[in-house]
Amino acid sequence: MTRKKVKLEWITNDNARRVSLKKRRLGLSKKMNELSTLCGVNACAIIYGPNEIELTVWPSHDVVQQQLTHFQSLSELE
């Protein structure tokens, strides 16, 4: 998205894709962090690649677990 406008589609080049994932994950974390502090909300994210090894949670495994439980109890009410 910068030296060249990027198309919103799967990056075929393996290396480029991995680099992009790494960078964007970082950027996303930053944004999540900003959102939650600036606006005083709870937020969590789960990201995982095709190979289940690349699992990333934000802000932390524990918090995610907690919020999932909360979310699911809300879901049941509907």
Strand partners, 55: 48
Binding site partner of 15, from a copy of itself, DNA, none, Cβ cut-off 5-8 A by kind: DNA
Among 19-27, 44-52, 58-66, 67-75, which window interacts with DNA (CB under 7 A)?
19-27
| Six-digit token string for 27 | 């950027």
Q: Is 18 in the site for DNA (CB under 7 A)?
A: yes
Binding site partner of 47, from DNA, a copy of itself, none, Cβ cut-off 5-8 A by kind: a copy of itself
Residue type, 63: V
Binding site partner of 66, from a copy of itself, DNA, none, Cβ cut-off 5-8 A by kind: none
Q: What is the dihedral of CA 24, 15, 9, 34, to 10 degrees?
A: 0
Using DSSP's 3-state secondary structure scheme, residue 22 falls into helix
